[in-house]
Amino acid sequence: MSNFKFVLQVFLIWRLLLFTPLLFQQIPLNQFLIFPWTNFDGSHFISIAFNGYTFDGRFFPLYPILIKLGSLPFNFYEAYNFIDAYIYVGLFISNLFFLLSLMLLYKMVKNNYSEQIARLSVVSLLIFPTSFFFGGIYSESLFLFLSLLTFYFSQKKQWGMASITALLLSVTRFVGIFILLPLIYEFIVKEKANRLKSISLFFIPSGLIAFSIFCYYKWGDALYFIKAQGQLGNSRSVDSIITPLQTVYRYLRILASLPYKQYDFWIALLELSVFLFVSILIYIGWKKKLNRSFFIFALISFLIPVSSGTFTGLPRYVITIFPLFITLALINNRIFKFAYAIISTALLFVLLMLFSRGYFVA
């Protein structure tokens, strides 16, 4: 219990500190708990939960379904503001799953490494510059929890449970289906003498297949959830693979052409910096001999978004790649750890202030 007490304490500190930047914003008191956490994608998740799918096919269904189910009791109160109810339920779900994720991360890392590495992994994740998305109406908390739970079950050789959580992961975000690859690796390593247990793994794609069938009947295109990403106008390619080096070159040209006083310059710099930082972490993870199934998951989860021709959203996408934060904890250089703590915490507050005021940050 003392181990989980540490996780609960740092989570509560993180949660309270996230309100600090909001004190500098001119946000009405009655909107203090709602408005900053429903910006951008948050409004789409609430819309899907409340109205069902209209045009938001790029958002996967599990998270809004949970919001819908959690909001059902409020339907009996006619005087209650249903939208507020959906928002509060969404916030509760996100924060609950994030807390559970931290506890699971701590337990898994401690089992594989040590208590000190487990604590550092949790703190490294909490202070990452875009960790505040875990506390908003976003599916990141649910995705992180399900990915951790899948690996937890696989390490215990509970392949049936791992397959169920992986299936759920595949209907949380598109990249979730690719957890099948590290699972297969984990299975081959641990079940050399009993390949019949692999049958449950074949059911994992059924979640994504079901959503594809829905997309076909709703929009006439089974792959609409992919093509809808190309409708955002952010140069994301949905029909071809763009090498990350091409995208780096494009970003360097953007930075060279934009004045540094322009907001877009700093967002482009942030996105490029996150790409370079995570690339280095993945290399370090390989050199540190990070758990190979973790490493495969990290590599795939990173390569998919960075091969789309843009790094837009990357500072948010990487927060669910939990092996990155284990790698951060494994780095022994004290100067690096101190610099990471200071810079990340400062950026966390700055980016949250911008996000709460309606600026796109990731």
Question: What are the tens digits of pLDDT across the range 288-310?
Answer: 999 999 999 999 999 999 999 99
Does a structural domain hold residue 234? yes
Does a structural domain hold residue 361? no
What integer pLDDT is reported at residue 197 of this predicted model? 72
Does a structural domain hold residue 362? no
What pTM did the predictor assign? 0.95
The total of structural domains in the chain comes to 1
What integer pLDDT is reported at residue 235 of this predicted model? 74
Residues 192 and 241: their CA atoms lie apart, in Å, by 35
What integer pLDDT is reported at residue 79 of this predicted model? 44
What integer pLDDT is reported at residue 74 of this predicted model? 73
What integer pLDDT is reported at residue 3 of this predicted model? 73
Does a structural domain hold residue 326? yes
What integer pLDDT is reported at residue 129 of this predicted model? 97
What integer pLDDT is reported at residue 267 of this predicted model? 96
Residues 302 and 157: their CA atoms lie apart, in Å, by 26
What integer pLDDT is reported at residue 28 of this predicted model? 61
Give pLDDT < 70 ranges for the chain.
1-2, 24-35, 75-82, 192-193, 195-196, 233
Residues 100 and 165: their CA atoms lie apart, in Å, by 14
Query: What residue numbers bound the domain in which 151 lies?
Result: 2-356
